Amino acid sequence: MLDVGGGTGVHAVWLAADGYEVELLDPVPLHVERAGALPGLTARLGDARDLPLPDASADAVLLLGPLYHLADRADRVAALAEARRVVRPGGLVAAATINRYAAVHDMVHLGVYEQEQHRLAARQALENGRLLGPGPGFPAYLHEPEEVPGEFADAGLPGTERYGLEGAFWLYGDVNDWLDDPGRRRLMLDAQRTLERVPSLLGVSGHLLTLARRPA
């Protein structure tokens, strides 16, 4: 399994613990150093748009960060096309995106929307998808949910499936209390699974997970 743009290994370490053979690629040397120290995975430098791997060499490719770090559509399609190239026929490509409306939701939720600089950043994101907000964080591209299948298709990955990862629950004030309690966490996750593919709710989720398989 290939984890492209895997950062310090926050996803890869869980997959490795579950028994998967995981290789992580990231463009940041410090991230690669830290990920490489984790048990059960290998890590090296790499760019999502030009993967240093041969064709059809991975069973699955994860892009759980690159698409919202790449502001230009051509770069996002290039990253998806590279994932298609290195995954085996029939193999899975999974990519995370941040939803276009997440900036407004998050800033209201955090209590900073009343500040003009945050409000302007959120409104710009609504207009063109580019989030260049003040304070800590990173510049990001925020997708309209309906954009993502087109980018997959242009990369040679038709037939997508989309999942809202958090639904509306990420905006609930006591969500962490639910997640900290095993019984309540199970109930919340079960509730979200019943809603995660409802088309009218996809844009409410903070993140969207889109899946496709390389045609055989």
Answer yes or no: are the C-beta atoms of 81 and 61 closer than 8 Å: no
13-50 pLDDT per residue, tens: 999 999 999 999 999 999 999 999 999 999 999 999 99
3 vs 12: CA distance, rounded Å: 7
* Residue 75 pLDDT: 97
- Residue closest to 126 by CA, chosen among 162, 98, 150, 152: 98
Answer yes or no: are the C-beta atoms of 210 and 97 closer than 8 Å: yes
The whole-number average pLDDT for the span 118-143 is: 79
Hey, what's the torsion of the CAs at 33, 34, 35, 41, to 10 degrees? 80
Count CA atoms closer than 13 A to 126's CA, side-chain side.
Answer: 12
Residue 120's alpha-carbon distances to 113, 131, 138, 203, 211, in angstroms, are 9, 10, 16, 20, 32
116 vs 216: CA distance, rounded Å: 51
64-116 pLDDT per residue, tens: 999 999 989 999 999 999 999 999 999 999 999 999 988 888 888 888 888 88
Question: Residue 137 above 70 pLDDT?
Answer: no
Which CATH architecture describes the domain 47-213? 3-Layer(aba) Sandwich (3.40)
Answer yes or no: are the C-beta atoms of 4 and 51 closer than 8 Å: yes
Question: Residue 132 above 80 pLDDT?
Answer: no
169-192 pLDDT per residue, tens: 888 888 889 999 999 999 999 999
